[in-house]
Structure 1
Amino acid sequence: MNVPRAEEWRRHGGYFSWRPAAEAASPVEIFHVEMGDSGAPVLLLIHGWPTSSIDWFDVAGQLSASFRVCALDFPGYGFSDKPPGWGYSLVRDEELIEFYLAEVIGAKAGAIVAHDRGDSVALIHAARCAEGRSATGLQHLVLTNGNIFLPLSNLTEAQRQALDAESWSQIAAAVTPSVLAEGMGASAFTPPRKAGDPEVEALTATFAYHDGINVLHEGIQYLVERSQDEQRWLTALASAPFPVMVIWGLYDTVSPLRVASYVWNEYLMLKPGGNRLYFIPDANHYLQADRPDALVKVLLDALEPADGRDPGALGPELGAPLLVDSSRARLPAAADLLHP
């Protein structure tokens, strides 16, 4: 591998072995990265499909000035093992998160920032924490661009083909690491990334590692899991005892803005506990690559105690990220707003 971005990320990390506790699955080697002071507040970054923890390349270092930043590659992704037929699932990945936080890094509590498929893993974990079934406390949950309400998603034709076994068998041979990376670069980033761009080269390298293309079809079955359980997860989220932040890149067409708006309005706007909704202009699905500085600015704001300030831009510059809304106990009557 001669891809500077991928090589640098891998140099930051290491491995641990993990095996699901209650199932007859073979152990897998899991790649993970830690940055920052070991005594600082824990911030776990969770990646999506079909990418890996390298998605956080441009923000992890900045965040490590304030947090103990941790990230891992789930089985089937990035620099972790990718055995075919292993039984990839959201539930298993949440079990891995539990193990990682409690046993690998020894965290008693922390915050989570999730993206794409990682949002689903984080929602399972959040429900466990809210029910008192986790060994690690959750202090904040941050959800970024992902299909957290499938009826309003805009799945691509490629995603639908990868989901269906028959369709996948017909196109699998044509899907190479570079084809997948270049397709994503052209559609999920703003501005679009081309062949030879650092992000595209890094994606190609991580897809090629351990023949990751071979398990794409297995990995995307998480959408089936999500379709069965997302209502339960969102209902649990609405009563969770910790703050929930939603941060969205506005140019996303796969997980469009209507997804974030719906979840906010239906489940979080009246939820107690200082929840917030942020938008990042000029950012696509991979907001952490398109506007890394803006995302860091929003995260530092979101992970501070709620201060009651009004919605608005987080800076005077054009394209500054926006605090769109903060939760409240109830909506006032229209007439109440007309009196001093």
Structure 2
Amino acid sequence: MDGRAQEWFDAGRYFRWQDLEIFHAEFGDPDAPLVALVHGFPTSSIDWYDVAPRLAVQRRVCVLDFPGFGFSDKPRDRPYTLVQDVDLLAYYLGEVIGADQGAVVAHDRGDSVALQFAARCDAGEAAFDIVHLVLSNGNMFLPLSNLTDFQRLVLHDDTARSVLDVVTPEGLAAGMGTTTFTPPRSSEDPAIAALAQTFAYNDGVAVVHDTIQYLVERSENEEQWLSSLSGSAIPTTLLWGLCDTVSPPRVATYIWDTYVSTKPSTNELWFLPYANHYLQHDDPEGFVEVVTRVLDGRSPVAPGALSAEPRAPILVDRSRPELRSAADVLAGP
């Protein structure tokens, strides 16, 4: 390995969970408020390469690679489930780093892990207090998603092996660089080269069919998980890259309107106008700006862009106890 991948690997270490070696890393002051960053599919904690050091200026930041991803073990013919990863996240936060409260910031597949973890915390089934939940660019409502042909092919038993037999780590990373980053990135880009190296580590391509089964698990439980969110008192922010075609903005607006806009606590919907699916790569400054503002309670009172700059993050909406009626809107002062 070299470049970003080697640097990220050198920053971390391992702990044992069940029969697996799990990679994790910490940044910042260990006594500062905690932020746990939860990665998506098919990538790993290296997605937070540009975000973690920026957040760590004022916070303790922790990341881990779930089994089957990044620098963690990737055994074949093993179930890779969201429920298992919720168990792991709870163990990691409580037993490995000794934390009992903090913010959880998730992306893509990690949104589903974070939703279940939040439900457990609300129910008293996990000894952790989530002070804020940030969900970004994840297909949390599959009917509005745009799965790629590659995702559908590797999902199904009858097509997965023939596809994955010819996919290389470099090819997988290059395809993502051209479709899920804005502007598109070549295989020589440091972030794309790092993805290729993490895919190659422990032969990650070989377990892609297994790890993508989370979509089936998601489809069977998404209504329950989103309904749990709608009743949660955990402050929640949806933060979305507008250029995403896989988890398009309509996913965010549907979840906001249906489950978040009138739920308890302070909740917000933000867009990053020039970011794609991997918004933490495309606009790390904007990503950190929004996360820092919501954690510090410094969000604008009224919706709008933070500045006149075209790339400025946009606060789209804030929650309210209930929607006003049309008559209330039209009533005189």
**Shorter-normalised TM range:** over 0.9
Residue 151 of structure 2, aligned match among 155, 159, 183: 159
For 1:73, give the aligned amino acid: D
Please list every run of 5 or more consecutive structure 1 residues that lacks an aligned counterpart in the other structure. 20-26
Q: Give distance in 2, aligned partners of 1:42 and 1:18.
A: 22
Residue matched to 1:12: 11
**2:185 aligns to what?**
193
| Post-superposition CA distance 1:156-186 (Å, at most 9, x none) | 0000001001101221211110010000000
Query: Which shifted more, 222-231 or 3-12?
Result: 3-12
Residues 260-279 of structure 1 correspond to what in structure 2 (within 5 A)?
Answer: 260-279=252-271
* Structure 2 unaligned regions, length at least 5: none
- Is the aligned partner of 1:87 residue 2:86? no
Name the counterpart of 1:41.
Answer: 33
Deviation readout 1:137-170 (Å, 9 max, x if unpaired): 1111100001010110000000000100110122
- Whether 1:234 and 2:234 are equivalent positions in the alignment is no
Q: CA deviation at 1:334?
A: 2.7
Q: 1:183 aligns with which of 175, 178, 201?
A: 175
**CA offset digits 1:211-234 (Å, max 9, x no partner):** 001100000000000000010000
Greater CA deviation, 155-164 or 325-334? 325-334
Q: How does 1:1-340 map to 2 (within 5 A)?
A: 1=1, 3-19=2-18, 27-305=19-297, 309-337=301-329, 338-340=331-333
Q: Is the 8 A contact 1:12 1:33 kept in 2?
A: yes
Q: How far apart are the structure 1 equivalents of 2:56 and 2:233?
A: 26
CA contact (8 A) 1:53 1:78 kept: yes
TM-score by length of 2: 0.98
SS at match of 2:216: helix
The corresponding residue for 1:23 is none
For residues 305 and 190 of structure 1, the distance between their equivalents in structure 2, rounded to whole angstroms, comes to 29
Whole-angstrom CA distance in 2 between matches of 1:85 and 1:72:
22
Deviation (angstroms), 1:307 = 6.1
Amino acid at match of 2:164: A
User: Is the contact made by 2:268 and 2:317 (CA closer than 8 Å) also made in structure 1?
Assistant: yes
Summarize the Cα distance change of 1:194–1:308 in structure 2 as closer, same or farther, 3 Å threshold: closer
CA contact (8 A) 2:233 2:263 kept: no
| Bigger Cα displacement from structure 2, 214-223 vs 328-337 | 328-337
Q: CA RMSD in A?
A: 1.1
TM-score by length of 1: 0.96
Q: 2:310 and 2:81 mapped to 1: Cα distance? A: 41
The AA in structure 2 aligned to 1:270 is T
Report the AA paired with residue 119 of structure 2: A
User: Would the aligned equivalents of 1:274 and 1:306 in 2 still touch at CA under 8 Å?
Assistant: no
Task: Give aligned-pair identity as a percent.
Answer: 55
Aligned residues: 332
Give the secondary structure class of the aligned counterpart of 1:174: coil
